[in-house]
């Protein structure tokens, strides 16, 4: 054990970190850190795009003016009789019946943020009918009736006219989002509205720009690229609802809006030009994903003539980004307010095309690759699944795992030990499960990754695993050239988000970074240009004693209308653990999100959504579950749980999963949920009562439908616990600094010696940044910086020092090394 005279700790060291400063290793590419965006969790509407009126064109629900309510004695109805324009066929008619005074109020994206001394730009189309000819008043009004700001138009007549007003709040307003935006009038007849807009100030005051607090937070991440526009959002559920980029440009008020794949209708206001504005304002390059003929629910378009329109579209989209003002599509970008062409280096063909059961990607990729390569030979082309006919420049690899699995997998791209000469030096390409020989393979974009623990934003435990993962891909930066976490954003109102773990949270009023956001700021703001060889010797984490799996049973639904009946659970000795009569009693159940109803022996969710509940005893081990299930509408099927211990620990059969493309067992641990065993092609049909039987024996499950075995699967072994300490180091040439990152993943402080070999001198003053807390800690709207980095300057740095790394922490040490390195 070494004891250093200039140590931060005087206890015996149990770990040793050795960094070879004399041998700068691989380069960390300038474009390594990036962002990924798509319309998920109200990332755009109710997020980055700052428009405050929700359902401003009244199309979000076919039959009701949701998010609008009548004021005074007025009645409000949707009216299709006289549209403003073809893109906006429905307007809101306010009938001034009753005492002739009234209007309509919008509740925004779960509240309208009212802030002091702020200008809000109001615009709307209005027309009067039935004798109405008065002015319209726009008001920001508190839930208690306080009028924060108010302005009135000139008299409205019988033709559609656009009105613009400014509402300014006074300096003494107490900030609140308990407010609505109201349009009201007095008179006879009716007044109709459409395209109602309430715009707060935007980032850098760009006209039609983006939400300032979110953009400031994104700028702190110093992204070099933005992967856009998705994700599943690119693919859409159907061809009609994919990201059709030509419908995402031009004036915002002429955009049609569409229902994306995350269960809500978006306005498309944050279209392609807005995403590009975001890139420009962040000084980041767009990484453009082009639609490649695969949708989530309709499968793949056939190659050849059927795919050709999409190939042409992709070429035109590239021209929209990169073409000069005299090119047909470049000129449209200029008209959208983006005069300068964008530098584009990377184009990605599709998204997660390994999901295509028909395995059509190779041919689709080839057709698109050839066309793009021919017209834009300099572009680097990214594949999303394994292809054989062409060699892509990069593969896009995605990882969503539990903390333990992330840490275990952090060496995913590490080359095997040299002694393992017989083995092919290979790695598997994440979810697409290809294997390639290192050195002969294309490079990798780690285009979506996140440790799944904490909802809707990650815990510190997830953050520490994220940091270990990031160090793992950094040390393989010769192969993994770029990375971006996903999803980036989530409106944390319970009705707004769909994906469990997201980097940045916000509501109408404010935003917060998760601990993982802060970790990523630490990495990005201390970016090195060369990695340094590092060796870490540290104790292993203690292994928890093995336990037989146990837990209750449960039922769920994934955005599908389902009904269940006759649920019973029998022990292996034949005794009844839960009778069907007991199962009908909702008081015995525990539900997460969503309410369920029990009526006439049928159990079902009260409304369509993603929800599940459990019933029974946490100690149940081996048992057989009987039940009947019927799907009445929707695109998926059933969720059948067993060994359910808590919200993060359960197994389920996902019957009719992924748009009813099959059935598989999944295991959830610590927030990560993975498929295991061999999936089946069983796809439940609507309207049929199925007899389900689930036999649970130790780690094995057998699932029968109408007495036929559909799935048999054994729980995968849990990932090994791993080490307590993980570290990475790099060099910043311009300033002769060594930057060391250390994660203590354990719950005890670790005293470590830190040796920098090959330096002549180390300046004693060094910058130390630490992110620490309890493993389950998260940030939130109410406690936005519960876990946030603290900084200090230490004065005892040396080439051989001893430091204590606090439990559950990420430490970043920035050392100035002297000349003569």
User: Binding to ligand AHR by residue 487, rule CB under 6 A?
Assistant: yes
Q: How far is the CB of 230 from ligand AHR (least distance, A)?
A: 5
The residue range among 106-114, 227-235, 310-318, 728-736 that interacts with ligand AHR, by the rule CB under 6 A, is 227-235
Torsion angles phi and psi, residue 523, rounded to 5? -65, -50
Q: How far is the CB of 428 from ligand AHR (least distance, A)?
A: 18
Q: How far is the CB of 516 from ligand AHR (least distance, A)?
A: 14
Nearest residue to ligand AHR, scored by beta-carbon proximity: 231
Smaller CB separation from ligand AHR, 198 or 482: 482
| CA distances (Å), origin 191, targets 17, 159, 757 | 73, 11, 78
Smaller CB separation from ligand AHR, 56 or 673: 673
The residue range among 87-95, 162-170, 229-237, 475-483 that interacts with ligand AHR, by the rule CB under 6 A, is 229-237
Strand boundaries in 143-281, DSSP class E: 147-152, 161-168, 179-186, 190-199, 225-228, 258-259, 265-266
Secondary structure of 634-677 as H, E, C letters = ECCCEEEEEEEEECCEEEEEEEEHHHHCEEEEEEEECCEEEEEE
User: Binding to ligand AHR by residue 285, rule CB under 6 A?
Assistant: no
- The residue within the footprint of ligand AHR, chosen from 448, 584, 670, 751 (CB under 6 A), is 448
Task: Supply the DSSP symbol for 111.
Answer: B
Which tokens in the block code for residue 690? 């199925």
Total residues contacting ligand AHR by CB under 6 A comes to 11
C-alpha span between 260 and 43 (Å, rounded):
12
User: Binding to ligand AHR by residue 232, rule CB under 6 A?
Assistant: yes
Smaller CB separation from ligand AHR, 88 or 502: 502
Task: Supply the DSSP symbol for 248.
Answer: G
Smaller CB separation from ligand AHR, 503 or 738: 503
Which residue, 696, 719, 597, 703, is CA-closest to 650?
696
Q: How far is the CB of 655 from ligand AHR (least distance, A)?
A: 20
Site for ligand AHR in 513-542 (CB under 6 A): none
Which distant-in-sequence residues (6+ apart) come within 8 Å of 546 by Cβ?
A: none
Smaller CB separation from ligand AHR, 28 or 272: 272
Smaller CB separation from ligand AHR, 122 or 221: 221
DSSP-derived pairing of the beta strands 708-714 and 800-805: unpaired
Start-to-end Cα distance in the chain: 26
Smaller CB separation from ligand AHR, 107 or 448: 448
Which residue, 385, 512, 502, 523, is CA-closest to 452?
502
Q: 376-389 burial, b if ≥16 CB within 10 A, otherwise e? A: eeebbbbbbbbbee
Name the percent of the chain in helix, strand, coil, to the closest 5. 15, 40, 45
Whether the Cβ atoms of residue 300 and residue 351 lie closer than 8 Å to each other: no
Smaller CB separation from ligand AHR, 296 or 667: 296
Q: How far is the CB of 231 from ligand AHR (least distance, A)?
A: 3
Smaller CB separation from ligand AHR, 234 or 528: 234
Q: How far is the CB of 645 from ligand AHR (least distance, A)?
A: 26
Which distant-in-sequence residues (6+ apart) come within 8 Å of 254 by Cβ?
A: 85, 87
Which tokens in the block code for residue 64? 């009701």
C-alpha span between 367 and 505 (Å, rounded):
40
Site for ligand AHR in 295-334 (CB under 6 A): none
Smaller CB separation from ligand AHR, 287 or 810: 287
User: Binding to ligand AHR by residue 486, rule CB under 6 A?
Assistant: yes
The residue range among 112-120, 225-233, 273-281, 728-736 that interacts with ligand AHR, by the rule CB under 6 A, is 225-233
The residue range among 173-181, 226-234, 728-736, 788-796 that interacts with ligand AHR, by the rule CB under 6 A, is 226-234
Q: How far is the CB of 40 from ligand AHR (least distance, A)?
A: 6
Q: How far is the CB of 288 from ligand AHR (least distance, A)?
A: 15
Q: How far is the CB of 234 from ligand AHR (least distance, A)?
A: 8
The residue range among 92-100, 230-238, 476-484, 709-717 that interacts with ligand AHR, by the rule CB under 6 A, is 230-238
Whether the Cβ atoms of residue 631 and residue 684 lie closer than 8 Å to each other: yes
Torsion angles phi and psi, residue 339, rounded to 5? -65, -45
Smaller CB separation from ligand AHR, 230 or 662: 230
Q: What is the CA radius of gyration of the chain?
A: 29
- The residue within the footprint of ligand AHR, chosen from 103, 187, 231, 549 (CB under 6 A), is 231
Torsion angles phi and psi, residue 470, rounded to 5? -60, -40
Which tokens in the block code for residue 815? 């050392």
Site for ligand AHR in 240-269 (CB under 6 A): none
- The residue within the footprint of ligand AHR, chosen from 223, 230, 273, 773 (CB under 6 A), is 230
Smaller CB separation from ligand AHR, 231 or 442: 231
User: Cis link prior to 456 (omega < 30° from 0)?
Assistant: yes
Site for ligand AHR in 26-65 (CB under 6 A): 38, 40
User: Cis link prior to 231 (omega < 30° from 0)?
Assistant: yes
Q: How far is the CB of 453 from ligand AHR (least distance, A)?
A: 16
Smaller CB separation from ligand AHR, 355 or 651: 355
Smaller CB separation from ligand AHR, 111 or 679: 679
Torsion angles phi and psi, residue 234, rounded to 5? -65, -45
User: Binding to ligand AHR by residue 352, rule CB under 6 A?
Assistant: yes
Phi/psi-derived region of residue 160, left when phi > 0, alpha when psi is between -120 and 50, beta in every other case = beta
Site for ligand AHR in 547-586 (CB under 6 A): none
C-alpha span between 321 and 344 (Å, rounded):
8
- Residues in contact with ligand AHR by CB under 6 A are 38, 40, 230-232, 351-352, 448, 486-487, 499
């Amino acid at each position: 054990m070494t004891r250093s005279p200039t140590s931060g700790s005087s206890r015996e060291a149990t770990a040793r970190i050795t960094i070879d400063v004399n041998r700068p290793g691989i380069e960390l590419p300038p474009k390594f850190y990036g962002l990924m965006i798509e319309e998920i969790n109200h990332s755009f509407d109710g997020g980055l795009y700052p428009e405050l009126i929700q359902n401003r064109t009244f199309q979000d629900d076919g039959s009701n003016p949701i998010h609008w309510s009548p004021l005074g004695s007025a009645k409000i109805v949707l009216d299709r009789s006289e549209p403003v324009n073809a893109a906006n066929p429905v307007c809101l008619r306010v009938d001034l019946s009753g005492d002739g005074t009234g209007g309509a109020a919008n509740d925004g994206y779960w509240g309208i943020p009212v802030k002091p001394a702020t200008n809000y730009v109001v615009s709307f189309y209005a027309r009067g009918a039935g004798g109405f000819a008065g002015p319209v008043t726009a008001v920001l009004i508190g839930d208690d009736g306080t009028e924060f700001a108010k302005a009135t138009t000139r008299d409205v007549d019988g033709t559609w006219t656009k009105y613009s007003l400014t509402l300014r709040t006074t300096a003494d307003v107490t900030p609140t989002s308990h407010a609505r935006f109201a349009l009201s009038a007095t008179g006879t007849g009716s007044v109709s509205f459409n395209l109602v807009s309430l715009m707060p100030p935007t980032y850098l005051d760009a006209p039609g720009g983006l939400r300032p607090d979110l953009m400031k937070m994104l700028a702190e991440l110093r992204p070099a690229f933005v992967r856009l526009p998705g994700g599943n959002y690119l693919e859409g559920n159907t061809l009609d609802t994919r990201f059709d980029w030509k419908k995402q440009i031009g004036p915002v008020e002429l955009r049609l809006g569409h229902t994306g794949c995350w269960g809500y209708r978006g306005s498309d206001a944050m279209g392609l030009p807005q995403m590009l504005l975001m890139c420009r304002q962040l000084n980041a390059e767009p990484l453009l994903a082009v639609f490649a003929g695969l949708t989530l629910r309709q499968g793949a378009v056939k190659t050849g003539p059927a795919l050709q329109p999409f190939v042409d579209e992709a070429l035109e989209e590239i021209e929209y980004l990169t073409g000069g003002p005299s090119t047909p599509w470049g000129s449209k970008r200029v008209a959208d307010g983006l005069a300068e062409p964008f530098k584009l280096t990377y184009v990605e063909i599709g998204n997660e095309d390994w999901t295509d059961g028909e395995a059509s990607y190779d041919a689709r990729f080839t057709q698109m690759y050839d066309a793009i390569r021919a017209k834009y030979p300099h572009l680097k082309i990214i594949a999303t699944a394994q292809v054989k006919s062409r060699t892509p420049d990069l593969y896009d690899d995605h990882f969503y795992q539990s903390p333990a699995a992330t840490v275990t997998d952090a060496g995913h791209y590490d080359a095997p030990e040299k002694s393992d000469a017989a083995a092919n030096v290979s790695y598997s390409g994440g979810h697409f499960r290809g294997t390639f020989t290192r050195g002969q393979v294309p490079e990798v974009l780690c285009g979506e990754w996140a440790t799944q623990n904490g909802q809707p934003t990650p815990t510190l435990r997830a953050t520490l695993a994220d940091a270990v993962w990031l160090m793992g891909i950094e040390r393989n930066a010769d192969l993994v050239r770029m990375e971006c976490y996903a999803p980036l954003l989530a409106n944390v109102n319970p009705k707004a988000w769909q994906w469990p773990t997201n980097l940045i949270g916000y509501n109408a009023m404010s935003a917060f970074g998760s601990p993982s956001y802060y970790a990523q700021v630490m990495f990005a703001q201390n970016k090195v240009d060369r990695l340094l060889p590092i060796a870490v010797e540290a104790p292993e984490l203690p292994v928890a004693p093995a336990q037989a799996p146990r837990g209750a049973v449960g039922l769920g639904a994934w955005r599908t209308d389902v009904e269940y009946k006759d649920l019973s659970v029998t022990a292996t000795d034949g005794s009844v653990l839960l009778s069907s009569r007991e199962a009908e009693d909702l008081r015995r159940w525990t539900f997460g999100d969503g309410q369920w109803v029990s009526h006439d022996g049928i159990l079902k969710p009260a409304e369509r959504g993603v929800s599940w509940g459990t019933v029974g005893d946490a100690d149940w081990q081996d048992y057989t579950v009987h039940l009947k299930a019927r799907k009445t509408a929707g695109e998926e099927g059933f969720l059948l749980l067993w060994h359910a211990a808590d919200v993060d620990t359960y197994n389920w059969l996902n019957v009719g999963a992924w748009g009813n493309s099959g059935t598989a067992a999944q295991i959830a641990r610590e927030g990560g949920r993975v498929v295991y065993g061999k999936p089946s092609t069983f796809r439940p049909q609507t309207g049929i009562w199925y007899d389900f039987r689930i036999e649970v024996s130790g780690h094995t499950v057998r699932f029968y439908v109408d007495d036929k075995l559909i799935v048999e699967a054994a729980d995968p072994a849990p990932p090994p616990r791993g080490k307590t300490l993980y570290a990475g180091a790099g060099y910043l040439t311009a300033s002769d600094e060594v930057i060391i990152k250390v994660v203590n993943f354990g719950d005890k402080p670790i005293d470590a010696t830190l040796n920098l070999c090959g330096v002549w001198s180390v300046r004693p003053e060094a910058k130390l940044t630490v992110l620490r807390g309890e493993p389950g800690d998260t940030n939130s709207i109410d406690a936005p910086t519960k876990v946030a980095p603290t900084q200090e300057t230490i004065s005892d740095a040396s080439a051989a020092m001893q430091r204590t790394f606090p439990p559950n922490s990420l430490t970043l040490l920035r050392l100035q090394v002297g000349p003569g390195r």
